[in-house]
Amino acid sequence: MGPVNWMVNRRAWSPAGSEAAVEIIPPEAVHSARSFHRQIPGYRISPLKCLHNLASMMGVGGIWVKDESVRLELNSFKVLGGSFAVYNLLRGRLGMEGDVPLPVLTSQESIGKLGPITFAAATDGNHGRGVAWAANKLGFSSVIYVHRETAQARIGSIESYGANVQVIDGTYDDAVNQLKADAQKHDWVVIADTSWDGYEEIPTWVMQGYTTLFSEAQEQLAAQGIVKPSHIFLQAGVGALAASGTAFYRGLFGQDGPISIVVEPSKAACLLGSAREGDGEPHKFEGELETIMAGLACGEPSPIAWRILWDCAHVFVSCPDYVAAKGMRVYGVPLAGDPFVVSGESGAVTLGALMFALERPELKPLREALDLGPNSQVLLINTEGNTDPEEFRRVLWDGALPVPEEYRTEEGKK
């Protein structure tokens, strides 16, 4: 298996619009999410870093990294979605319309009207931590389900916000299924970043919450004189972030938006597999989901995310783990003059995929399909920082998951 397996989605190049993108990520939701996030104590715009020298080496105009490793205190973008979903749910229960000031929502009067609520989520780590953080800040309890391969560091981080963590003997998808059954039994409020039949409103709010990082990035790019990125590489598990980004840009620029590339682990490539089926339906990936990219180890696409991606994602890509490991090392040991970026396994796979796409001769058809070249301004999202210190050290210190020799650059073979 090569470093990048890919498929062009011709639907995204068609002149037809996407009803799903407009319906799920309308402009007013983007505004509401940004307005809410600005009110959170400690909120600040996460940095947009430019890897000028790497871009020059790779032969593209710019490589821009939206660094979510410093988002609030959680080292991940996920808190944007979970917190916005909790905000919308509480606002609805209180019968409040429009943008509600956070102090009003968290007042003793409001909390008294709401009564006790337990928020619940299934997670590979980052989403659950975001839900636990939001529940804790608002004075509610939370229960978070994780699968058996979840790193202890991630579990401990979730528990630090007062959550009751339940470890399920199975995959992420098994944790989701167990959560659904237990939440119904205990009357918990599920805040999930994936959807299923009869459960779409909250995952929609989660996806809308993610648009804040893209809205910020647009402002930051504009300050550099760049109207929009030419390309955006988006990592995907169930597809919520990728769908949020593609819909955000489709809403701003229509068919003239950036070319979107959705990147998954080879051993959890449910979106690429669904695209290859070609029937417009989401399909389950059959496998053990054994990848270091814990945040992307998902075997079933979110149906509402898939609706957007089927219409709007230009290319679907899958990569083996060594691609993510290379991305981590390049971020961590940048060229002289480029900024240092702390990136976990799921955060770095898009940089690895971009570099292989630009370097490998057998991927020339992909470069041509994407029209990657000297005028390209590429946006990447570093979705997480060092959320699993043991794995981070294994990759950066010990050189785990090296690039196979046949795929190394000439410099790397010396």
Q: Give the catalytic positions in this structure.
A: 78, 124
Rg (alpha carbons) of the chain, rounded to whole number: 20
Sign of the alpha-carbon torsion through 293, 390, 380, 21: positive
Q: What is the distance between the alpha carbons of residues 182 and 333, in angstroms, rounded to a whole number?
A: 45
Strands 48-50 and 62-67: antiparallel
Q: What is the distance between the alpha carbons of residues 356 and 379, in angstroms, rounded to a whole number?
A: 16
What 8-state DSSP symbol labels residue 124?
A: S
Q: What is the distance between the alpha carbons of residues 132 and 236, in angstroms, rounded to a whole number?
A: 22
Which tokens hold the place of 296?
Answer: 């992307």
287, with CB counted inside 10 A (0-12, 13-18, 19+), is: middle
Q: Where are the alpha helices (DSSP H) in 301-363?
A: 303-312, 321-332, 345-359
Cα 198 vs. chain centroid, distance in angstroms? 23
67, with CB counted inside 10 A (0-12, 13-18, 19+), is: buried
State the DSSP string of 122-189: EESSHHHHHHHHHHHHHT-EEEEEEETT--HHHHHHHHTTT-EEEEESS-HHHHHHHHHHHHHHHT-E
Place of tokens 């490589």: 63
